[in-house]
Amino acid sequence: MRREEHGVEDSWHAEHGWVDGYGYAILAEEWRGEVGGLREIRDASAAVQPRRALPPAVAWETGERHTARLSLGDAAPDDVDQILRYRNRPEVGRWMLRARVEPEAFRRAWLEPGERDRSFVARLGDRVVGSCSIQVRDGSGQPGGPVQGCEAEIGYVLDPAFHGQGYGREIAAAGLDRCFRELRVRRVTAGLYADNVASARLLSGLGMRLEQYGVRDSWLPDHGWVDGAAYGLLAREWRA
**pLDDT for residue 24 is more than 50:** yes
150 phi/psi in degrees, rounded to 5: -100, -5
Q: What does the pLDDT look like over 50-70, one tens digit per residue? A: 678 999 999 998 888 999 999
**pLDDT for residue 45 is more than 80:** no
Q: Are 106 and 125 spatial neighbours (Cβ–Cβ below 8 Å)?
A: no
**pLDDT for residue 36 is more than 70:** no
Domain assignment of residue 115, yes or no: yes
Domain assignment of residue 9, yes or no: yes
Domain assignment of residue 210, yes or no: yes
Q: CA torsion 137→191→22→141, rounded to 10°? A: 0
Domain assignment of residue 55, yes or no: no
74/85 Cα distance (integer angstroms): 18
Domain assignment of residue 59, yes or no: no
Q: Are 21 and 7 spatial neighbours (Cβ–Cβ below 8 Å)?
A: yes
**pLDDT for residue 153 is more than 70:** yes
Partners of 151 in beta bridges: 137, 187
**pLDDT for residue 240 is more than 90:** no
Structural domain harbouring 147 = 2-49+64-237
Percent of the chain at pLDDT exceeding 90: 79
150/235 Cα distance (integer angstroms): 10
Domain assignment of residue 56, yes or no: no
Domain assignment of residue 33, yes or no: yes
**pLDDT for residue 44 is more than 50:** no
Say which residue, 44 or 131, is predicted with more confidence.
131
CATH number, residue 231: 3.40.630.30
Q: How confident is the model at residue 38 (pLDDT cuts 50, 70, 90)?
A: low
Taking residues 151-172, report their average pLDDT: 97
Say which residue, 31 or 159, is predicted with more confidence.
159
Say which residue, 32 or 46, is predicted with more confidence.
32
Which of 9-18, 150-159, 192-201 shows the lowest per-residue confidence on average (mean pLDDT)? 192-201
Residue 31 burial class via C-beta count within 10 angstroms: exposed 0-12, middle 13-18, buried 19 and up: exposed
**pLDDT for residue 47 is more than 70:** no
Taking residues 81-92, report their average pLDDT: 96
Query: What's the confidence (pLDDT) of residue 217?
Result: 93
Query: What's the confidence (pLDDT) of residue 37?
Result: 53
Domain assignment of residue 138, yes or no: yes
Q: What does the pLDDT look like over 133-148, one tens digit per residue? A: 999 999 999 999 999 9
**pLDDT for residue 155 is more than 90:** yes
CA torsion sign for 191, 193, 194, 195 is negative
Q: Can you give the pTM of this predicted structure?
A: 0.92
Domain count of the chain?
1
Query: If you average pLDDT over every residue of the chain, what do you get?
Result: 92
